[in-house]
Amino acid sequence: MATSQQQRHIRLGLFVQPVGQHVSGWRLTEKLGDPTDIDWLITLAKKAEAGKFDLFFVGDALATSMYRLPSTMARLEPLTMLSALAVNTKRIGLAATASTTFSDPFTMARSFSSLDHISRGRAAWNVVTSFSTDVARNFSRSDMPNHAERYARAREFLEVAEKLWAGWEEGAVQPNKETGSYFVDEKIQPINHQGEHFQVQGPLNITRSPQGRPVIIEAGSSADGQKLAAETAEVIFTASASLEEAQTFYRSQKDQVIAAGRNPDHVVIMPGVMPIVGRTREEAKALWKELNTLVDIENGLRQLSLRFSMDLSQFPLDGPVPEVPLGEGNQSRVKLMTDMAKRENLTLRELAAVAAGSRGHRVIVGTAEDIADDFELWLKEGGADGFNIMPAIMSEQLDLFVELVIPELRRRGLFREDYAFATLRENLGLPAV
């Protein structure tokens, strides 16, 4: 595998939990945000844009019972929210999670194309497949399609959406007052898709958007997820606990991109990370300790049980983490957490605290220099192209990251001074479509 070895800029996404990513973060903030307060979300988006983040990323879940946390029990629908943020920001990318399991390609393609128009070319879609039976029950099903079925549907779903976006060519709108014609008919084509899961005539009833289509993000690290990402994703979110683990995933994923006939430099890999930023190491360590003393272990155990698709309350909290088969749930995150437990010899109680606190992502505790050292090492050693930042406390930790870490990254030549382009696709260095 060969990729460009020239000095690269780190790509940064902000993974937005309006009350903080750490399960205890909301208990330590001076100003507690409301997940459904659009003014609060606009404030966060503007802070991220002031820091020149590439992405403002909003996750989503289609059931309230997955995690008993403020941001997951009550949240705004992501595309509605990002449409409001689009008119209050200028350059930052706006990314939303949307599932292919219980929706249809025509509606999804139209919605994201609308967001791309409203934001003038800053939309991104984090493509996911649902895995919780609680979600299935909200969509008139008693059970969830199996893993292979969900990915087969996702693959065809993306195929249909991309056909719909491509159905409007450049120059399809050419108003001519003299002739009375508004469209160039031959530049607007139906897709007439006939597949296993979808039969869609088209064309889409919205004009070609500034980017042509939204930037496609995917996060699956299972074999099916990696294969789909290699063929279709432009940004890949992942979770890696160590540089060695990250390098293995990075090499594997980029090699699969090459095997799929694509340029590996056109796929941006961004592991999630929770930086605990302090003005001194002692300050950062004290904050991390305080956050973890407030963790509700029962909550963490519920999270693990839902992730692992098994009731873990039957096992001793201070005993070893039980063997968990990779079933139909979130396979990549289950493997990451069970591997972590084995590597660090964690008890079930300890893993529950980690799961509740960091939600399975890597944590860096230290000063701006410590965090920049870590990011620079991962970038140069082939562990990442950038990072999805998950502030533990919102907005205090976001503020410190923008105030302290970003200037340090700039001092090292690792992060841009300003946005160079108008569209997200251009700012990420991705090719036009």
Tally Cβ neighbours within 10 Å of residue 184.
Answer: 13
DSSP state of 364: E
DSSP state of 429: T
The angle formed by the CA atoms of residues 342, 245 and 265, to the nearest 5 degrees, is 160
| CA neighbor of 4 nearest in space, from 408, 379, 425 | 379
With H, G, I as helix, E, B as strand and everything else as coil, classify residue 389. strand
Binding site as annotated, residues: 60, 97, 147, 151, 221-222
Residue 32 makes CB contacts below 8 A (sequence gap 6+) with 19, 26
Record the tokens describing residue 155, joined without a space: 């693959």
Residue type, 211: Q
DSSP state of 306: H
CA distance between the termini of the chain: 24
| CA neighbor of 235 nearest in space, from 222, 253, 252, 251 | 253
Binding site as annotated, residues for FMN: 60, 97, 147, 151, 221-222
Record the tokens describing residue 352, joined without a space: 């529950």
162 Cα distance to chain centroid = 20
Q: Which residue has the tokens 């399991």?
A: 101
Rounded to an integer, what distance in angstroms lies between the CA atom of residue 401 and that of residue 396? 9
Residue 236 makes CB contacts below 8 A (sequence gap 6+) with 217, 218, 219, 229, 253, 267, 268, 269, 270
CA dist 384 to 18, 153, 245, 269, Å?
Answer: 26, 29, 11, 6
Burial class of 254 by CB neighbour count within 10 A (0 to 12, 13 to 18, 19+): buried
Rounded to an integer, what distance in angstroms lies between the CA atom of residue 253 and that of residue 218? 12
What does the buried/exposed string (b/e) look like for 3-25 if buried means 16 or more CB atoms within 10 Å of the residue's CB?
Answer: beeeebbbbbbbbbbbbbbbbbb
